């Protein structure tokens, strides 16, 4: 099959989009052509120059055929947004970005700050979540409430904030262990992990 210059140009532009949101916009604008057999042939041609990119986009075309473009692109765009969000360097910018991209609240990354903030925002709201990283008193109240109510998830995420924001490793490890106990996962608890964070007594020296 011969490939028209229009198909080659459209596929080339799709492959070169630097972001997934841009790629999705290009697909939406040229969906009929990009889903056509000509686009498949063009991808085969481009595979000679960049096999990995061409193969990735051909797989994406298959997912779009199966699930539709919004569903196929969603995890890619969310991952891109998560990367952009975690790269921000101020709490104000971070909060503004999360407000502008509320779909990030659906993500549940591992026990770390990017997981703690969405968890608190889902349970309460975005301002409450960011109060935890701006105000140690607010975080302590959040921890006290989690201990009182037996909320292991809230306590686990609070421990991540203590560690990553306030650099309080002893409190973070203590509350992480407490979260494991509250979650009835005794097999994962490790009380000995608290020992390295405990203050080491300073030696005393005789004078005179």
What are the residue boundaries of the structural domains of the chain, listed by start? 5-79, 90-195
**What pLDDT, on the 0 to 100 scale, is given for residue 199?**
47
What is the per-residue pLDDT for 2? 78
User: What CA–CA distance (Å, rounded) separates 92 from 109?
Assistant: 21
| Alpha helix positions (H), the chain | 5-15, 20-29, 31-34, 37-46, 51-67, 69-86, 91-100, 113-123, 126-134, 136-149, 152-164, 169-182
Check residue 68 and give left, alpha or beta (phi > 0: left; psi -120 to 50: alpha).
left
**What are the backbone dihedrals phi and psi of residue 197, each rounded to the nearest 5 degrees, phi first?**
-90, -10
pTM for this entry? 0.80
Lowest mean pLDDT among 53-57, 111-115, 196-200: 196-200
**What are the CA-CA distances from residue 38 to residues 3, 5, 16, 17, 28 (Å)?**
6, 10, 18, 19, 17
Segment 126-169, tens digit of pLDDT: 999 999 999 999 999 999 999 999 999 999 999 999 999 999 99
The confidence band for 207, taking pLDDT boundaries of 50, 70 and 90, is very low
């Amino acid at each position: 099959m011969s490939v028209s210059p229009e198909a080659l140009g459209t596929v080339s532009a799709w492959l070169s989009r630097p972001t997934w949101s841009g790629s999705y916009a290009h697909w939406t604008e040229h969906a009929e052509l990009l889903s056509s057999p000509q686009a498949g042939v063009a991808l085969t041609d481009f595979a000679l120059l960049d096999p990995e990119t061409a193969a990735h986009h051909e797989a994406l075309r298959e997912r779009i055929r199966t699930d539709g473009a919004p569903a196929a692109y969603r995890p890619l765009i969310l991952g891109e947004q998560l990367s952009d969000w975690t790269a921000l360097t101020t709490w104000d910018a971070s909060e503004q970005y999360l407000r502008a991209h509320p779909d990030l609240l659906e993500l549940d990354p591992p026990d770390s700050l990017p997981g703690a903030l969405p968890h608190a925002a889902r349970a309460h709201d975005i301002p409450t979540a960011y109060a935890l990283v701006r105000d140690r008193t607010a975080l302590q109240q959040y921890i006290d409430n989690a201990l009182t109510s037996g909320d292991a998830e809230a306590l686990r995420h609070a421990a991540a904030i203590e560690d990553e924001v306030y650099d309080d490793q002893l409190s973070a490890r203590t509350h992480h262990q407490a979260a494991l106990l509250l979650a009835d996962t005794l097999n994962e608890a490790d009380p000995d992990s608290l020992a390295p964070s405990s203050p080491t007594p300073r030696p005393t020296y005789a004078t005179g």
